[in-house]
Amino acid sequence: MKSEEVFRSFFKTKSSLVIAHRGYSKIAPENTISAFKLAVRFKADMIELDVRITKDGTPVIIHDSKVDRTTNGTGRVKNFYLWVLRELDAGSWFDHKYIGEKIPTLKEVFDAVGGKIPINIEIKSASIKDKLTEKVLAVIYENEIADNVLISSFDPRVLKNVRKLTDEIPTGFLYHYPIYFNPVRTLLNLGANVLIHNYKFTTPKLVEKLHNAGFKIFVYTVNSPNHILKMLEIGVDGIITDDVKLTRRILNSFNQT
């Protein structure tokens, strides 16, 4: 199945998607199995997560390049062997009830929720030479989940590499600043399917331009009711949020008007 067909399958309705940022990270420690399971429980349409690589080449789920903020350890993820990383506590910083939560591997996420919800995998690759993209793809195909994932990155090199390796998996280009380039041409050049953009710089004109060219647009990270509603009004295709329940409630109300 081509990436365009897979991507269209994420949009079985015309409604915007509620995308759980690092899982349901408002009520559970980000990028943990608990956060991902809660996203499913509270009816997110998709989860977003971040993947990095360990010293021994295992894709693991953590946002920062260092473990300091979200665990009881210190140091760079790439300098940890998996077995050492697994000894860290990734939950108690958030709430005592999550003490003992581990940094999960990508495979463990697939085992826990892979068949229940589409997954947006943001590749946090410090260097193309680390082969993280190839290892992520290997885990995806080993778990037969290619039709239920989206790969995204801020790094155009990562997206070009994904497209060189497979045309089956849809990709998203992450961008933070106001658009000063031709977004349609950029997505075409990258072989990408969606622009994932900072909501603060997302305009009705940008949404219209992408839709007219057959592309989708997700916005991040939207947590206030006013901003969620504004993004729905201008027609974005997905809202990446920390607060799944709030966003779902606003979306349901919006769809009834």
Specify burial of residue 180 (Cβ count, 10 A radius: 0-12, 13-18, 19+). Answer: exposed
Task: Count the neighbouring beta carbons within 10 Å of the beta carbon of residue 64.
Answer: 16
Name which of 63, 65, 66, 24 is nearest 41 in CA terms: 24
From residue 90, give the alpha-carbon distance in Å to each of 30, 193, 204, 230: 9, 33, 39, 34
Q: Does the active-site annotation cover 21? A: yes
Contact 41, 11 (CB under 8 A): no
Contact 222, 228 (CB under 8 A): yes
Q: Which helix (H) or strand (E) holds 232?
A: helix 225-233
Name which of 102, 108, 69 is nearest 87 in CA terms: 102
Q: What span, in angstroms and rounded, lies between the C-alpha atoms of 189 and 176? A: 19
Q: What span, in angstroms and rounded, lies between the C-alpha atoms of 183 and 25? A: 30
Q: What span, in angstroms and rounded, lies between the C-alpha atoms of 198 and 176? A: 5
Q: Which helix (H) or strand (E) holds 165?
A: helix 156-165
Q: Does the active-site annotation cover 211? A: no
The residues annotated with a catalytic role in the active site are: 21, 63
